Structure 1
Amino acid sequence: MTNLLSRLPTVRGSLEPERSLADLTWFRAGGPAEVLFQPADEADLAAFMTGLPADVPVTLVGLGSNLLVRDGGIRGVTIRLSQRGFGQVTPVGSNRLEVGAAVPDKKLAAAALAEGLSGFAFYHGIPGGIGGALRMNAGAHGVETRQRVVEVRGVTRQGARVTFSNAEMGYAYRHSGAPTDVVFTSCVLEGIPEDRDAIRRDMDAVAAHREASQPVRSRTGGSTFKNPDGHSAWKLVDAAGCRGLRIGGAEVSEMHCNFLINVDGATGHDLELLGETVRARVLQTSGIRLEWEIKRFGDFLPGAAIEPFLGA
């Protein structure tokens, strides 16, 4: 650890060795970051990446809502953008907002409401941040992030500042084709002028649907698996008999069985083993291979590796 810290560039933000990530994720589980870096602003991030040795691994985490950290923790440098440096929403031009990558989705929905811009109400029900939404093309209620994006700014692993157009982001279902080593820092999004009362009704409907159908008050990582073409993941999980299935302190939600919950001190291992058990049972009963929507980072503890689909 001392050796790694001595090799890192000087920053204006913060560098924290052996920083627990469990308290930064919605699951409240998993190991530490070898070093956690929170840059002061985009210039600080770019300078750090420019001076970072090429052999040091880099992992980016957002607000932790769609993240499972393995119990062995994450090697190298984990980057988490601060609210102070990357958490602002600013009107720019007609019907457009400049949005920092650390802005929570719900904050963006509220800012769009204040500006009288529709097309953002779906974010009111997504428990994540804009950086993650840009990376995975987050969506709900028939609307996706790609429908709002004008351009996206970021910093490469080599420290260069880059800008991507909507087309250059290469969006598909729950996926973007932008280079994986780019740290998104901000974006410009475009909405549609609309009466604020109508926008507020849309947001209320999103919130009511989420409250009624999802375990929003539990320690969960959101939707666990992507919907396969022509299927709903939760229906496949339910048909495989996995509703309420429990391993250690982790459980498949009774309310919505595409959600895993930390019900009793679950470890990262409990949660991932439960997820792979569900995938194996769905494969056995339907022949369909579910894909994880939750991002899984880090190392397993020695002797505790989990095979995809349990080796099926």
Structure 2
Amino acid sequence: MPEVRGKLTAGRSLAELTWLRVGGAADWFFQPADIQDLGAFLAALPETIAVFPMGVGSNLIVRDGGLRAVVIRLGRGFNGITVEGSRVRCGAAALDAHVAKRAAEHGCDLTFLRTIPGSIGGAVRMNAGCYGTYVADVLAEATVVLRSGEVVTLGVEDLRFGYRSSALPEGAVLVEAVFDTPRGAPDALESRMAEQLAKRDATQPVKQRTAGSTFRNPLGRSSTGAADDTHELKAWKVIDDAGMRGARRGGAVMSEMHSNFLVNEGGATAADLEGLGEDVRAAVKAHSGIDLTWEVIRVGDPEAGL
């Protein structure tokens, strides 16, 4: 492996780094010292070795057999937040909630990020959104380190955002994002975030081991019957209609509080969680003909023999 100034660990377990607390080990786990260290590492890394950028593991299932890749996780040197006028610049490791709060203090409206679990890197990659606002609506530019080690700046047109998706290049590591924000009174923004938190806490199992929304909301249907991108039909509703609220497999359960949340009630394996998700998809398909799409990212190999 290339020489680094950061920390490079072989065989690092990923279970304790994910919110669901499941999964095997990564072949290698790299925590770069800074952007130059990251670029030099990627440039020297053989092309045959896969790269998987990892945030705080909030919407991730690592399968029980582990991950045949170098997992790259950004740390303290990549979590800064600065505000100049209506522009908010933040490192990819900054937590969404922290960015929302810091922005609000300066009268910048990124309140939609307050209740989204995870870090800014993942939010940009997945075009995270809530309450009708998405990252694509406010992103000015993103800085990424390509698999070749080159550092480039990408705009919204380069990232080609879609619903819960972007065109971030394969193997690229996002290191910084800049947002152009609407303005608002700090007190009003703080009040809005408090209301959002109260609503979330009343309707979602935030005190349990979950990975956020398990499935994307299905595509809607136009008056002609063709699929459209309104996503007004909610995943929890079709899960309920299929009788899968509270469904179980091993230590995994579809939350009674919000049926689009997979929960590790204790002792669940990654296979339990992913298997239950597939049970739900099959039940929904049989009941309504709808193909639910995973929102939780699943990576790695199953445990040997399973």
User: Shorter-chain TM-score: what band?
Assistant: over 0.9
**Taking structure 2 as the reference length, what is the TM-score of the superposition?**
0.94
Counterpart check, 1:103 vs 2:105: no
Task: Provide, for residues 10-32 of structure 1, a one-character-per-residue CA deviation record: whole Å limited to 9, x for no partner.
Answer: 11110111111110000011111
Specify which of 40, 45, 62 is matched with residue 69 of structure 1.
Answer: 62
1:180 CA drift (Å): 2.6
Map of 2:142 onto structure 1: 152
Partner SS state of residue 152, structure 1 = strand
The answer (yes or no) to whether the contact 2:24–2:63 under 8 Å persists in 1 is yes
Q: Give the whole-Å Cα distance in 2 for the aligned partners of 1:162 and 1:35.
A: 25
1:80 CA drift (Å): 0.8
Map of 1:181 onto structure 2: 171
Superposed, which structure 2 residues align to 1:185-200 within 5 Å? 185-200=175-190
Identity %: 48
Specify which of 195, 203, 207 is matched with residue 197 of structure 2.
Answer: 207
- How many residue pairs end up in the alignment? 294
Map of 1:269 onto structure 2: 271
Aligned-pair Cα RMSD in Å? 0.9
Partner SS state of residue 149, structure 2 = coil
Map of 2:250 onto structure 1: 248
Counterpart check, 1:172 vs 2:162: yes
Counterpart check, 1:21 vs 2:14: yes
Map of 1:55 onto structure 2: 48
Q: Give the whole-Å Cα distance in 2 for the aligned partners of 1:114 and 1:48.
A: 37
Map of 2:116 onto structure 1: 126
1:181 CA drift (Å): 2.1
Task: Provide, for residues 64-105 of structure 1, a one-character-per-residue CA deviation record: whole Å limited to 9, x for no partner.
Answer: 0000000000112111111x111110124x310111000100
Q: Give the whole-Å Cα distance in 1 for the aligned partners of 2:26 and 2:6.
A: 16
Task: Provide, for residues 110-156 of structure 1, a one-character-per-residue CA deviation record: whole Å limited to 9, x for no partner.
Answer: 110121111x1111101111000000100011111111100000011
Q: Give the whole-Å Cα distance in 2 for the aligned partners of 1:142 and 1:201.
A: 18
Q: Give the whole-Å Cα distance in 1 for the aligned partners of 2:102 and 2:33.
A: 23
Counterpart check, 1:10 vs 2:6: no
**Structure 1: gaps of 5 or more residues:** 1-7, 305-312
Counterpart check, 1:116 vs 2:107: yes
Map of 1:5 onto structure 2: none
Map of 1:44 onto structure 2: 37
Specify which of 278, 281, 286 is matched with residue 279 of structure 1.
Answer: 281
Q: Give the whole-Å Cα distance in 2 for the aligned partners of 1:57 and 1:194.
A: 43
Q: Give the whole-Å Cα distance in 1 for the aligned partners of 2:276 and 2:74.
A: 30
**Structure 2: gaps of 5 or more residues:** 221-232
**Taking structure 1 as the reference length, what is the TM-score of the superposition?**
0.93
Partner SS state of residue 205, structure 2 = coil
Specify which of 224, 239, 242 is matched with residue 241 of structure 2.
Answer: 239
Amino acid in structure 1 at the alignment position of 2:251:
G
Amino acid in structure 1 at the alignment position of 2:277:
G
1:221 CA drift (Å): 0.4
1:107 CA drift (Å): 0.5
1:39 CA drift (Å): 0.7
Specify which of 209, 214, 233 is matched with residue 224 of structure 1.
Answer: 214
Q: Which 4+ runs in 1 deviate beyond 6 A?
A: none
